[in-house]
Structure 1
């Protein structure tokens, strides 16, 4: 394999889609290095071990999702309906059928009962997801109602993602996102 100079960000960008689809256990460093076009040893330049790589993958996905979700939510120039439209596009981009679903839920399902090493980052992702939805809901609901509804929406969306993957049918995610939209707009 020829030597290719690549950045940590480029490595993560190539690794994330593979890990989203194949999971932690089924993604070997050898396979990931081939996808990145680098030597396996090059991973150790950026990451001490596979666990550190996975933590960085989860942190990167979390950061990307947060940045984009809260950019929408905090944009005072957008109407509530426009915020929802942009959020729907973000969710379809991140959780869509072809991308393997939600890497956080996939990693949690695969690893949490064996070794909770990734639990903290996964929890933070879902807490922020709930918090973002809660902020939108507080326009029409009390703080407590908004929190309960936000938790229900995240559960519904994650269930929709799972069923979309199981049945290869986006209707489950579409239905969950439609329910989210109705609840947020209180219509």
Structure 2
């Protein structure tokens, strides 16, 4: 019997925080159960495995990014620079969910992409959509081929900046990347 009642969505949200903090491989089912206030045995009523839970976490992140972040790129009432500013504000909020956690997408890519192909499929889809959103923004000022190159450069620079900010505990890496990206429209 659970220590408290929680919904499946609450379990996914709590699991996101645990995976973000501990990583996939260092997270135990006990860690996940504890974060939800559940007994370990009760946790299996929600998810039969850590992998199935992580698949749902990644899917949820993708849905959130699509609905709340990437959609900004296609708002033609905003300039390219305004779109980038709004997207980065949303992305920063996501990262601040757990400041020492870095980017959960980058973390899970590095930790699991070559080991758990199902995760890689979802992660690739998210990054491809992110690059497409950036490309759309950059096409306001650049030809498609240049916009695509800039999109991937921006995305990889952003992920690298987040990783370095995490490693050196210096958020300025992220802020510098943000400022440099905005200069594309100056």
Q: TM-score scaled to structure 2, two decimals?
A: 0.91
Instruction: Return closer, same or farther for 1:42/1:128 CA change in 2, 3 Å cut-off.
Output: farther
CA RMSD in angstroms comes to 1.8
Ranges in structure 1 where 5+ consecutive residues have no aligned partner: none
**Stretches (4+) displaced over 4 A:** none
**Residue 139 in 1 paired to residue 124 in 2?**
no
How many residues are aligned here?
185
Does the CA contact (< 8 Å) of 2:21 and 2:100 recur in 1?
A: yes
Q: Who is 2:160 aligned against? A: 159
Q: Report deviation, 1:5.
A: 1.8
Q: What residue is the counterpart of 1:61 in the other structure?
A: 61
Worse overlay, 111-120 or 62-71: 111-120
Hey, what does 2:72 align to over in structure 1? 72
1:51 aligns to what?
A: 51
For the residue of structure 2 that corresponds to 1:121, the secondary structure is helix
Alignment of 1:1-187 (within 5 A): 3-96=3-96, 98-183=99-184, 185=185, 187=186
Query: Any conservation in 2 of the 1:112–1:119 contact (CA below 8 Å)?
Result: yes
Q: Report if the CA contact (8 A) 2:73-2:83 is conserved.
A: yes
Q: Is the 8 A contact 2:105 2:123 kept in 1?
A: yes
Q: For residues 115 and 73 of structure 1, do their structure 2 counterparts lie closer, same or farther at Cα, with a shift above 3 Å needed?
A: closer
Equivalent-residue separation in structure 2 for 1:99 and 1:168 (angstroms): 8
Aligned partner of residue 114 in structure 2, secondary structure: coil
SS at match of 1:46: coil
Is the Cα contact below 8 Å between 2:3 and 2:39 reproduced in 1?
Answer: yes
SS of residue matched to 2:66? helix
Do the aligned residues in 1 keep the contact of 2:164 with 2:173 (CA within 8 Å)? Answer: yes
CA contact (8 A) 2:162 2:173 kept: yes
Q: How far 1:99 moved relative to its partner? A: 5.0
SS of the counterpart of 1:48? coil
Taking structure 1 as the reference length, what is the TM-score of the superposition?
Answer: 0.90
Give CA deviations for 1:87-141 in whole Å, capped at 9, x if unaligned.
1211211234715111111112112333433110110111011011011011111
CA contact (8 A) 1:69 1:132 kept: no
5+ residue gaps, structure 2, are none
In structure 2, distance between residues paired with 1:88 and 1:63: 17
1:45 match: secondary structure = coil
